Amino acid sequence: MTTALAAATLLVSAHGASATADGPPGAPGAAGIGDAYFPGAGNGGYDVAHYDVALAYAGPRTGEVDATIAVTARATQDLSAFNLDYSGPRIVGVTVDGRSAPYTRAGQELTVTPGAAIPDGRTFTTIVRYAGRPGPVRKQGAGTYGWVPSKDGALVVAEPDGAPTWLPVNDHPRDKATWSFRVTVPKGLRALANGTPGPTVQDGATTTYRWDERSPMATYLATVAIGSFQVRETMAGRIPVITAVDPKFAASAKELESRTVKALTWASSVFGPYPFATAGGIVDDVRLDYGLETQERPVYGGFVPDDDFVAHEMAHQWFGDSVSVHEWRDIWLNEGFATYAEWLWREHGGKDSAKKIFQRYHAQPAGSPVFVPPPGDPGARHLFGFSVYVRGAMCLQALRDRVGDPAFFSILRTWADARRDSSATTSQFIAHAERVSGKKLGTLFTAWLFTPGKPEKW
């Protein structure tokens, strides 16, 4: 601690020395937040409070977007310059607190130098305007993601690092913020996003849709879906449920709605009160063949999800969205939990039990993708690997067997409640499980999360 502090002080004074008396004091914010898997992701020196996203989408023929994004953040150091993560279309201009600010781009780093340094603790607003055609990224192990054009619009699915394809952001789940979206589309098209719908404004040939996400949300969970949609609204208890399907899936619109309501009702009874204001789901006609737990409104790329799939994305609202990973290496806290929720859901259905599912997987050979790599630190290439999902879920079954049902479900509920709207690490979960159960669990978690091969005793 002392050493790190001394080094930091040295760095600051080195920068201070090179600045002239009237030059900006302070130091540039770091270009990464310090995530081992994604060194360029996130940035240092500020904490985002709110993203205001205004998009004008010209239509599927050109795919052109004119976007104005206002990022309101609080400086956590004296900032002479700061970075946003952005890999989208040509920038038209950048302002900081209303004054035009010079910027440079290198890879996904957008470096902004405000006219005067921003003092530690000050809240400042950066506005970035861009114009052009955002596009997706493709990566091994993650497929196609980011801004994905569809036949009649676009769908955003940005996990893990696709948010910069369409927005300038502090791209890390540790820095969550509230969001507002205003999406202007040609008349006849629709736009959906996270959270609660606001008033729709017709203006000649265009319609503007407004959505507000009032709970803190990670950047990779921000979504818009633009196109033709059949939209349904209902209630699950006090929670408005808004679902939408591309016309190609019109015959399944009702099914998506009823599965979502069912999953929400069941998950709330197991994990505790639903953590957000609204719920829902979007089925779009883009062949991704995977879904994403986009906050309050999961998206499904090119298919109608079955009950298990909906239960998985619903469970993520608690585990992943409300309680986010502190680092990407903690990903099993998302995927292991959501997968275990599927098992619980099947157990609830009476056709199977989580324990039996565990046993079937445990019969697989040690070299199977079920076990390799250990899910506690899978590496960026295996972020969505099978073992993160399945061995992660098996870890929770092992925990349940050890502590018994009352303690196990109490661990899950109190975890969701205590860490609501924040982020957390694997070691914090282990400490939490030990505290709630009153048992030493180090050996169990080491065996299931970190030890190569197949756990045989724990």
Helical spans, DSSP H, in 157-252: none
Would you say 89 and 55 are in contact if contact means Cβ atoms under 8 Å apart? no
Name the minimum Å distance from CB 137 to ligand ARG: 9
Residue 161 interacts, among ligand ARG, Zn ion, none and using kind-specific CB cut-offs from 5 to 8 Å, with none
Which residues lie across from 284 on neighbouring strands?
A: 301
Closer to Zn ion at the Cβ: 213 or 335? Answer: 335
Which of Zn ion, ligand ARG, none interacts with 78 (beta carbon under 5 to 8 A by kind)? none
- Please, what is the minimum distance in Å from the beta carbon of residue 242 to ligand ARG? 19
CB of 336 to ligand ARG, least distance (A): 11
Q: How many CB atoms lie within 10 A of CB 413?
A: 16
CA dist., res. 292 & res. 125, Å (int): 29
Which residues, numbered 104-133, are part of the site for ligand ARG (CB under 6 A)? none
361 binds, among ligand ARG, Zn ion, none (CB under 5 to 8 A by kind): none
Give dist(CA 144, CA 455) in Å, integer: 33
Is residue 384 near ligand ARG by the rule CB under 6 A? Answer: yes
Q: Which residue has the tokens 């069941």?
A: 266
> Which among 181-189, 239-247, 336-344, 407-415 is the span making contact with Zn ion, rule CB under 5 A?
336-344
12 burial type by CB count under 10 A (0-12 exposed, 13-18 middle, 19+ buried): middle
Closest Cα partner for 386 from 373, 399, 404, 401?
Answer: 373
Lookup result for tokens 């079955």: 306
Answer yes or no whether residue 292 interacts with ligand ARG by CB under 6 A.
Answer: yes
Binding of Zn ion by 157 (CB under 5 A): no
d(CA 136, CA 126): 24
Residue 336's φ and ψ, nearest 5 degrees, are -65, -40
Q: Which helix (H) or strand (E) holds 192?
A: strand 190-193
Q: What does DSSP say about strands 279-284 and 239-245: parallel, antiparallel, or unpaired? A: parallel
Taking CA atoms, 212 is separated from 72, 162, 215, 370, in Å, by 15, 21, 9, 39
Q: Which phi and psi angles does 291 have, rounded to 5°?
A: -120, 170
The window from 118-126, 137-145, 164-172, 254-262 that contacts ligand ARG (CB under 6 A) reads 137-145
The secondary structure of the chain in percent helix, strand, coil, rounded to multiples of 5, reads 30, 30, 35
User: Is residue 159 a contact residue for ligand ARG (CB under 6 A)?
Assistant: yes
Interface residue with Zn ion among 54, 338, 394, 398 (CB under 5 A) is 338
Please identify, among the stretches 10-18, 107-115, 126-134, 327-335, the one whose residues bind Zn ion according to the rule CB under 5 A.
Answer: 327-335
Kindly indicate which of the ranges 108-116, 140-148, 267-275, 361-369 contains the residues binding ligand ARG, using the contact rule CB under 6 A. Answer: 140-148
Smaller CB separation from Zn ion, 32 or 373:
373
- Does position 303 interact with ligand ARG (CB under 6 A)? The reply is no
Which residue, 55, 41, 130, is CA-closest to 83? 41
Minimum distance from residue 293 beta carbon to ligand ARG (Å): 5
Contacts of 203 (CB under 8 A, 6+ apart): none
The correct pick among 38, 57, 86, 145 for binding ligand ARG (CB under 6 A) is: 145
Entry field: residues in the chain: 458
Please identify, using beta-carbon distances, which residue of 233 and 289 lies nearer to ligand ARG. 289
User: Which residue minimizes CB distance to Zn ion?
Assistant: 338
Q: Tell me how many residues contact ligand ARG (CB under 6 A).
A: 13
Q: Please, which residue, 127 or 224, has the CB nearer to ligand ARG?
A: 224
Q: How far is the CB of 335 from Zn ion (least distance, A)?
A: 5
**Contact of 55 with 67, CB cutoff 8 Å:** yes
Out of Zn ion, ligand ARG, none, what residue 384 binds, judged by CB under 5 to 8 A for its kind, is ligand ARG
Q: Does 330 bind ligand ARG (CB under 6 A)?
A: no
Angstrom distance (rounded) from CA 193 to CA 280: 11
How far apart are CB 331 and ligand ARG at their closest, in Å? 9
Rule CB under 6 A: say whether 143 interacts with ligand ARG. yes
- Please report, as ranges, the residues that interact with ligand ARG according to CB under 6 A: 142-143, 145, 159, 290-293, 312-313, 316, 335, 384
- Please report, as ranges, the residues that interact with Zn ion according to CB under 5 A: 335, 338
